[in-house]
C-alpha cells in the first residue's frame, strides 16, 4: 500500500466519521423529525456541492490567478474543512485509543467496585470537545492570518573567502510563489514591492512559480517582472514547474523580462576581480517525488560549474542537495521547497513539522563543514491555503567575510 493510498483512505475515513457525527448531533439537537430531514438535506446538498466543485466534477476548471468568488466561497471553506476535520479526526482517534486502553487497564488491575465521578466525566468530555475543536480554530487562523503574515528575515552569512569589496553584499530571496487564487497576481506584485524596497544588490528566485496549471505561467512571470536589483534577477526551477511541464516555456518568458533562470548554468556576479559564482540547477531528488524522476546522483557534474577561486553560491529548489553541495565545497546553497512545513507546529516544538519526514532541512540556516544552506519558507501554499507556525518569508542575506 503506497503512502498516497493510505492518506486517501484516512481522508475518506475522516469524512465518513464526520458525516455520522453530524447525524448524531442533529438527532440530539433537533426533536422534530421533519425539521431534522430538512436541515440534514440542506447540509448534505452543501457538502456534496462543495465536493463536486472542488473535485472538478462540475466541469474542468483552470486555475484562476486572482481570488474569484468561487475560490473564496467554495474552495476556501472546503479546503479549511478538509484539513481541519482530518486533524480533528486523528485527535479523536488518538483520544479514543487512550480512553479504551485506560478502561481496559482499570478493568484488569482494579479490585473492588468502580467509583462513579460525574464531575470528572463532564470535565473530560469538555476537554475532549475543546481539543477536537482546536484544529478548526487553528485552520481558520492559518487561512485568514498565518498565510499572509509575511516575515522579512535578515540572515547574516559569514563567508571567509568573500572578497573584501563584496563585504555587505545583499541578496534577496523569494521562493515557492505558487500563483493561484490564494496567491493572486496582485498579491505577488505586493511582495515584489516589499523585496524591491529592501534595495538588495541581487535578487534570486528558487522555484515553484506555478503549482500544476501551465496556463498560469504568463501571469507569474508578469508579476515577478517588476523585481529590480543592480546585479540582476536570477532563478532556478522547482518540482512544480517540472510537474506543470513549463520548464522551457517559463525560462523563455522570464528571459523576455530580463530574469535569467539558471538550468545547470552559472554566471559571474559582481565587479571584475571580485565576483561571486552563481549557479542554478533544476529540481532533483534521489527519491521518486510525484511525477519527477529520481536522479542517481544529486548535483551530478556540478564541479564543472564551480569556480574554485570564487565564492560559489547554488540555487537549488530541493534543500536535500545540501549534503553533496557541502561535500564538494559549495559555500552557500539557497533552497525552498518545504514551505517551512506550511502547517508546522514549530511554536510547540521544532521537531513537529510534516516536512521533517521528507527532509531534515525544513527552514532557516544550516552549517556543515564545506558549506552552508539557507531554506526559505516561500510565500505561497500548496494543497490547502493555510500556514500555521511557518509564516511566508522574503529573506535578505547580508554577506560578510567575518
Using CB under 5 A, list all residues that contact Fe ion: 176, 208
> 169 to each of 56, 200, 269, 310, how far by Cα in Å?
48, 8, 11, 14
CB of 262 to Fe ion, least distance (A): 18
Nearer to Fe ion, 176 or 187 (CB): 176
Strand-strand pairing, 311-316 and 276-281: parallel
State which residue, 79 or 88, has the beta carbon closest to Fe ion: 79
Q: Which is nearer to Fe ion, 240 or 324 (CB)?
A: 240
Considering the complex, what minimum distance in angstroms separates the CB of residue 261 from Fe ion? Answer: 16
User: Dihedral of CA 354/355/356/357: which sign?
Assistant: positive
Element (H, E) at 374: strand 371-375
- Of the pair 176, 393, the CB lying nearest Fe ion is at 176
Q: For residues 237 and 265, is the Cβ–Cβ distance under 8 A?
A: no
In whole angstroms, the minimum distance from the beta carbon of 204 to Fe ion comes to 15
Cβ-based nearer residue to Fe ion, 205 or 311: 205
CB atoms within 10 A of CB 102: 10
Secondary structure E strands in 168-224: 170-174, 202-206
Q: Locate cell 529592501: which residue?
A: 198
d(CA 58, CA 203): 41
DSSP single-letter state for residue 91: H
Minimum Å gap between C-beta 394 and Fe ion is 15
Cα(358)–Cα(341) distance, integer angstroms: 10
In the complex with Fe ion, which residue's Cβ is closer, 176 or 201?
176
Alpha carbon distance 325, 331 (integer Å): 8
Residue 380: which of 241, 229, 226 has the closest Cα?
241
Asked whether the beta carbons of 344 and 377 are under 8 A apart, the reply is: no
The single residue listed with the C-alpha cell 528575515 is 153
Compare residues 133 and 360 and give the one whose CB is closer to Fe ion: 360
Nearer to Fe ion, 135 or 142 (CB): 142
Q: Which is nearer to Fe ion, 243 or 397 (CB)?
A: 243
According to DSSP, the residues that pair with 268 across neighbouring strands are: 277
Sign of CA dihedral 352, 354, 357, 358: negative
- Residue closer to Fe ion (CB basis): 64 or 341: 341
Q: Which residues contact 167 (CB under 8 A, 6 or more apart)?
A: 399, 400, 401
Alpha-carbon span 11 to 8, nearest angstrom: 5
CB of 207 to Fe ion, least distance (A): 7
Q: Give me the least distance between CB of 341 and Fe ion, in Å please.
A: 12
Instruction: Tell me how far, at minimum, the Cβ of 174 lies from Fe ion, in Å.
Output: 12
CB of 83 to Fe ion, least distance (A): 17
Q: What's the closest the beta carbon of residue 36 comes to Fe ion, in angstroms?
A: 44
Element (H, E) at 8: helix 3-29
Q: ∠ CA 320-253-202 to the nearest 5 degrees?
A: 60
Q: In whole angstroms, how close is the CB of 381 to Fe ion at the nearest point? A: 9
Q: Which residues contact 179 (CB under 8 A, 6 or more apart)?
A: 63, 65, 185, 188, 209, 210, 211, 216, 219, 220, 223, 380
Nearest distance in Å: CB 361, Fe ion:
14
208/320 with CB nearer Fe ion:
208
The whole-angstrom separation of Cα 384 and Cα 285 is 24
Amino acid at each position: 500500500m503506497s503512502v498516497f493510498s493510505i492518506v486517501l483512505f484516512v481522508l475518506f475515513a475522516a469524512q465518513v466519521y464526520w458525516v455520522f457525527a453530524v447525524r448524531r448531533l442533529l438527532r440530539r439537537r433537533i426533536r422534530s423529525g421533519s425539521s431534522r430531514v430538512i436541515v440534514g438535506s440542506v447540509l448534505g446538498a452543501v457538502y456534496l456541492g462543495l465536493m463536486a466543485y472542488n473535485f472538478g466534477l462540475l466541469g474542468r476548471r483552470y486555475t484562476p490567478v486572482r481570488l474569484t468568488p468561487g475560490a473564496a466561497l467554495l474552495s476556501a471553506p472546503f479546503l479549511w474543512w478538509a484539513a481541519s476535520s482530518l486533524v480533528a479526526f486523528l485527535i479523536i482517534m488518538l483520544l479514543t485509543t487512550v480512553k479504551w486502553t485506560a478502561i481496559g487497564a482499570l478493568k484488569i488491575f482494579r479490585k473492588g467496585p468502580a467509583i462513579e465521578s460525574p464531575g470528572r466525566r463532564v470535565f473530560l468530555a469538555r476537554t475532549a470537545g475543546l481539543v477536537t475543536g482546536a484544529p478548526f480554530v487553528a485552520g481558520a487562523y492559518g487561512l485568514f492570518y498565518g498565510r499572509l503574515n509575511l516575515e522579512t528575515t535578515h540572515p547574516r552569512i559569514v563567508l571567509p573567502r568573500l572578497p573584501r569589496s563584496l563585504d555587505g553584499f545583499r541578496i534577496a530571496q523569494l521562493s515557492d510563489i505558487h500563483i493561484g487564487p490564494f496567491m493572486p497576481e496582485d498579491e505577488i506584485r505586493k511582495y515584489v514591492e516589499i523585496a524591491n524596497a529592501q534595495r538588495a544588490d541581487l535578487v534570486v528566485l528558487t522555484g515553484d512559480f506555478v503549482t500544476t496549471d501551465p496556463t498560469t505561467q504568463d501571469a507569474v512571470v508578469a508579476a515577478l517582472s517588476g523585481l529590480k536589483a543592480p546585479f540582476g534577477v536570477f532563478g532556478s526551477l522547482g518540482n512544480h514547474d517540472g510537474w506543470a511541464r513549463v520548464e522551457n516555456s517559463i525560462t523563455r518568458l522570464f528571459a523576455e523580462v530580463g530574469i535569467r533562470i539558471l538550468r545547470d548554468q552559472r554566471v559571474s556576479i559582481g565587479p571584475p576581480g571580485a565576483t561571486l559564482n552563481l549557479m542554478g540547477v533544476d529540481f532533483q531528488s534521489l527519491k521518486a517525488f510525484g511525477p519527477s524522476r529520481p536522479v542517481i546522483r544529486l548535483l551530478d557534474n556540478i564541479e564543472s560549474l564551480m569556480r574554485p577561486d570564487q565564492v560559489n553560491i547554488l540555487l537549488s529548489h530541493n534543500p536535500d542537495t545540501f549534503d553533496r553541495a557541502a561535500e564538494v565545497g559549495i559555500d552557500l546553497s539557497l533552497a525552498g521547497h518545504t514551505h517551512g512545513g506550511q502547517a508546522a507546529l514549530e511554536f510547540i516544538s521544532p521537531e513537529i513539522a510534516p516536512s521533517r519526514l521528507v527532509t531534515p532541512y525544513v527552514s532557516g540556516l544550516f552549517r556543515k563543514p564545506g558549506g552552508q544552506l539557507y531554506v526559505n519558507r516561500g510565500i505561497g501554499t500548496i494543497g490547502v491555503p493555510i500556514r500555521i507556525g511557518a509564516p511566508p518569508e522574503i529573506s535578505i542575506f547580508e554577506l560578510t567575510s567575518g
